[in-house]
């Protein structure tokens, strides 16, 4: 029972995420303009048969807006995790070249880790003018140091392994060792790191959008839905905040659970 439970949990999370992903991938096609279509006769309608998750102040369907928002969040999370882990992997590989480069990269990692990353995130997103690109870049720049530190330690340990020295003595170039010894060793760690970075990126996107320096107000982002919901919460319109929040929680938890399972399997 002890061994099947985590597997079952991982399976449930993977299936849930796969379903969510399918829904999100096709959201743009089958939702059409539904997330932005206004129905003034049905403003702030509660959840029911006509409006499954209710509508917002402009009469827009909340279920469509939540799905579209999750699709956007997923896109941001994926791109930011990809970019962040690519930076981390590149710099960790570079650190194995020489002790001087390693010292420089370590200093950069320590410096970035010592700055509260939410402040840096806000500054970068603001400086880049907001929008999807700015959010992706801001999240990637502020989140690579943690993963880079792990990868760097892993690769420096590997550099001291006898088979690396032997490979060099057998005439293999630095490029060969990097591609055939270091990279395959680092990739599984990098994948887990990227998976763990994913939910962070999604939450930060929502936070940045909530604070007004993230995605554009015309896009149905989760952060924006939550910020809107804040204005109506005191009026008893609970569905405006609960459903987008639950959707975000479900997605983040599923990804986190899969990343933890992957880390344990490693």
Which of 36, 167, 219, 260 binds another protein (CB under 8 A)? It is 167
Are the beta carbons of 241 and 228 closer than 8 angstroms? no
Judged by phi (left if over 0) then psi (alpha if -120 to 50, else beta), residue 237 lies in: beta
Structure tokens at 221: 């982002």
Residue 171 found at the interface with another protein (CB under 8 A): yes
Residue 265 found at the interface with another protein (CB under 8 A): no
Helices 131-159 & 99-114 angle (0-180, nearest 10): 130
Residue 162 found at the interface with another protein (CB under 8 A): yes
Residue 165 found at the interface with another protein (CB under 8 A): yes
Nearest Cα residue to 66 out of 78, 79, 53: 53
Least Å distance between CB 170 and another protein? 4
Least Å distance between CB 166 and another protein? 5
What are the Cα distances from residue 190, in Å, to 10, 77, 84, 199, 263? 20, 16, 10, 15, 10
Compute how many residues bind another protein; rule: CB under 8 A: 15
The DSSP secondary-structure symbol of 55 reads B
Q: By CB under 8 A, which span of 70-78, 105-113, 146-154, 156-164 interacts with another protein?
A: 156-164
Least Å distance between CB 154 and another protein? 14
Considering the complex, state which of residue 49 and residue 160 has its C-beta at the smaller distance from another protein. 160
b/e per residue 162-179 (b: at least 16 CB within 10 A):
eebeebeeeeeeeeebbe
Least Å distance between CB 189 and another protein? 13
Least Å distance between CB 172 and another protein? 7
Residue 161 found at the interface with another protein (CB under 8 A): yes
Alpha-carbon span 239 to 229, nearest angstrom: 8
Structure tokens at 72: 């956007």
Residue 159 found at the interface with another protein (CB under 8 A): no
Alpha-carbon span 265 to 259, nearest angstrom: 10
The residue whose two tokens read 């399976």 is 11
The interface mask with another protein, positions 174-213, x = CB under 8 A, is: ------xx--xx----------------------------
- Residues in contact with another protein by CB under 8 A are 161-163, 165-167, 169-173, 180-181, 184-185
């Amino acid at each position: 029972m002890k061994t099947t439970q985590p597997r079952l949990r991982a399976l449930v999370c993977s299936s849930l995420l796969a379903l969510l992903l399918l829904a999100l991938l096709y959201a743009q096609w089958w939702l059409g303009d539904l997330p932005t279509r206004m129905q003034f006769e049905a403003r702030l309608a509660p959840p029911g048969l006509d409006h499954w998750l209710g509508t917002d102040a402009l009469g827009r369907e909340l279920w469509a807006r939540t799905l579209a928002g999750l699709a956007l969040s997923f896109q941001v999370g994926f791109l930011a995790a990809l970019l962040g882990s690519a930076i981390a992997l590149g710099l960790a590989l570079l650190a194995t070249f020489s002790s001087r480069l390693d010292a420089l990269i370590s200093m950069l990692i320590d410096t970035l880790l010592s700055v509260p990353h939410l402040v840096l995130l806000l500054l970068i997103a603001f400086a880049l003018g907001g929008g999807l690109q700015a959010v992706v870049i801001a999240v990637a720049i502020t989140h690579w140091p943690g993963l880079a530190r792990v990868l760097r330690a892993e690769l420096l340990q590997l550099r001291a392994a006898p088979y690396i020295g032997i490979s060099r003595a057998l005439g293999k170039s630095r490029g060969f060792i990097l591609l055939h010894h270091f990279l395959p060793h680092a990739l599984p760690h990098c994948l887990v790191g990227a998976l763990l970075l994913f939910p962070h990126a999604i939450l930060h996107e929502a936070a940045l959008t909530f604070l007004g320096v993230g995605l554009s107000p015309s896009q149905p982002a989760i952060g924006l839905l939550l910020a809107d919901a804040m204005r109506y919460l005191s009026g008893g319109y609970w569905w405006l905040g609960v459903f987008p929040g639950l959707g975000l929680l479900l997605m983040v938890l599923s990804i986190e659970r899969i990343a933890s399972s992957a880390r344990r399997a490693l």
